[in-house]
Amino acid sequence: MNFTVLTYAERADFTLELIAAASSMGSSVHVVALALDEADAAKFSVGGAHVVLRVAAHREVTGPADAAAVLAAAVKQLQPNAVLIDSSRNGVEAAARLAQRLGAPCATGCLSVAFGSAGGVLIERRCYGGGFVARQALSGSPVVIAVQPHRYEPLAIGKPCEVRELVVDLGAQEVRTLSVRRVEHGSRQIEKAEAIVAVGRGLRGPEDLRMVQALAGRLDAEVAGSRPVTDDLRWLPGDVKVGLSGHTVKPKLYVACGISGQIEHIVGMRAARTVVAINKDPAAPIHAEADYSIVGDLYQVLPALTALLSR
């Protein structure tokens, strides 16, 4: 049986991931990629798609409502078995709206996607705050799947494929963008940080914070501290305290350096997706709260990590 999968993402690099995801769904998948401009179309054409649809509209495609309109037009033309969209915030909205318009089932935040033996689509997604993974079967034609970015490696560059034009009537814009402000790295607050390097009592002095900051810089992370470091020793300001009396953070990556793992710290970081602990005390409770733990001296491990990441 031949499956057609349509892919769409705002960002070209995500579309390339989605093409890879679509290709991995089964042995005979016909991958159609939507491109918003010529440059993207060229990339997707060599990125593993079988057909690239270059969107032609009377105005720029912006925002999830437009994305849903474009996708609806493409679905009408192609009748795909599945639509893959990137699970970014705009992608999720576009996916949900498309699904509602088509009367289709939809899953967002998917970690993996594949065709099942019975014809439906099988996905895995995190649920219950990230601590669990659900496997779901979606049936319908099409099904709409929003795939988590960075889950699939783009395919190796191949032969160019056919590029067609898809004419879309976008209709009036309901939500107008007035201005766009880039979220600056420096002003990012710790609660919104994607990565955090936190230090605790294992640090010997405030001058050693530089070592921590170096690693944080490499990981594009914020530096945070546990209560002893912020309140008692005051090596870090109180607004970067993680824990019961400080911030509750939910970064994707949390690196706890020299933190023993007292409960009041744990409650502030337990929502982190991946936790790394570096502590020389093998009995420190933090090791039980970590995905990966290194029983070792942070004064040796941190510089080693920083050096590796600089390469």
Partner 1 sequence: MPDPLFVVCFKMCVDVAVLRPHPDTGEPDLARAPLRISDFDERAIEEAVRLREKHGGRVVGVSAVTSDPPRELLLKALAMGLDAVRLVTIAPSDHPGSAAAALAEAIHALGEPALILCGEGSVDGYNGQTGPRLAELLVMPCVTYAGRIEIGCGQLEADRMLEDRAEAVTCALPAVVTVGGEINTPRLPSVLQLMAAGRKPVETVCGVATATGVVTLDVTAPSTSRKRIRIDGAQPAEAAISLLHYLARDGEVAV
Partner 2 sequence: MIPARENFALLPAWTPPLMYALALLAAACFLAGCLRLARRIDLREAWRIAPGSSREKMARLLTYGLLQRRIASRFNGLLHAALVAGFVLLLLATTLVFVDQDLLRPFGRRLLTGNIYAAFSLGANAAGLLVVVAGGALLAWVVAREKPADERVRRNLTTTLGALLVLGVTGFALEAVRLALRPTGAEPWRFAGAWLADPLRGHVTAKLYTALWWSHAVLAFGFIAALPYTALSHVLATPLNIALAPPEPAGALSKPFDLAALMASGQFDVKPGIARAADLTAADRAALLACTSCGRCEEVCPSALSGASLSPRILVRELRDRLNGRAQEDLLATPLASQAWACNTCGGCAAVCPAHVRPYELAVGIRRALLAEGRADGRQAQMLAGLERAGNPYGMPAADRESLSDLLGAPTLAQAGQAEWLYWVGCAGVYDARVRRVVEATAGLLRRAGVKFAVTGAEVACCGEAARRMGEEGRFQMLALDNLVALEQYGVRRIVTHCPHCYNTLRNEYAQLGGRLDVVHHTELLAELAEQRKLPRSMDGERVTLHDGCSLGRLNGIYEAPRWALHSAGARLVEMPRSRRTALCCGGGGGAYWYDVERSVPPARLRVEEAVAMGAGIIATECPFCLKMLGDAAAESVKVLDVAELLAGVD
Answer whether 91's CB lies under 8 Å from 73's CB: no
Amino acid at 229: V
Q: Rule CB under 8 A: say whether 281 interacts with partner 1.
A: no
**Residue 238 site contact among partner 2, partner 1, none (CB < 5 to 8 Å, cut-off depends on kind):** partner 2
Cβ closest to partner 1, residue 189 vs residue 234:
189
Cβ closest to partner 1, residue 1 vs residue 308:
308
Q: Quick count: other Cβ atoms within 10 Å of Cβ 66?
A: 23
56 Cβ partners below 8 Å, 6+ apart?
A: 165, 166, 167, 168
Cβ closest to partner 2, residue 16 vs residue 286:
286
Q: Identify the CA nearest to 33 among candidates 160, 173, 170, 171.
A: 160
**Residue 158 site contact among partner 2, partner 1, none (CB < 5 to 8 Å, cut-off depends on kind):** none
Answer whether 283's CB lies under 8 Å from 191's CB: no
Q: State in angstroms the smallest separation of the CB of 301 from partner 1.
A: 5
77 Cβ partners below 8 Å, 6+ apart?
A: 166
Q: Quick count: other Cβ atoms within 10 Å of Cβ 185?
A: 9
Cβ closest to partner 1, residue 169 vs residue 174:
174
**Residue 263 site contact among partner 1, partner 2, none (CB < 5 to 8 Å, cut-off depends on kind):** partner 2
Q: Rule CB under 8 A: say whether 96 interacts with partner 1.
A: yes
Q: Rule CB under 8 A: say whether 301 interacts with partner 1.
A: yes
Q: Identify the CA nearest to 275 among candidates 298, 252, 295, 297.
A: 252
Q: Rule CB under 8 A: say whether 182 interacts with partner 1.
A: yes
**Binds partner 2 (CB under 8 A): choice among 231, 271, 280, 299:** 231
Q: Identify the CA nearest to 267 among candidates 235, 291, 290, 245.
A: 245
Q: How far apart are CA 115 and CA 119, in angstroms?
A: 6
Q: Specify the residue for token string 């669990």.
A: 132
Q: Rule CB under 8 A: say whether 292 interacts with partner 1.
A: yes
Cβ closest to partner 1, residue 16 vs residue 104:
104
Q: State in angstroms the smallest separation of the CB of 209 from partner 2.
A: 18
Cβ closest to partner 2, residue 52 vs residue 286:
286
**Dihedrals phi, psi of 166, to nearest 5 degrees:** -120, 115
By CB under 8 A, the residues from 122 to 161 that bind partner 1 are 122, 126-129, 131-140, 143, 150-151
Cβ closest to partner 1, residue 1 vs residue 178:
178
**Residue 30 site contact among partner 2, partner 1, none (CB < 5 to 8 Å, cut-off depends on kind):** none
Q: Quick count: other Cβ atoms within 10 Å of Cβ 190?
A: 21
17 Cβ partners below 8 Å, 6+ apart?
A: 9, 86, 147, 149, 150, 151, 152, 153, 154
**Residue 280 site contact among partner 1, partner 2, none (CB < 5 to 8 Å, cut-off depends on kind):** none
By CB under 8 A, the residues from 249 to 268 that bind partner 2 are 261-264, 267
**Binds partner 1 (CB under 8 A): choice among 9, 75, 107, 196:** 107
Q: Rule CB under 8 A: say whether 246 interacts with partner 2.
A: yes
Q: Identify the CA nearest to 296 among candidates 307, 281, 285.
A: 281
Q: How far apart are CA 257 and CA 111, in angstroms?
A: 29
Cβ closest to partner 2, residue 57 vs residue 267:
267
Give the interface with partner 2 as residue ranges (CB under 8 A).
227-228, 231-232, 238, 241, 244-246, 248, 261-264, 267, 285
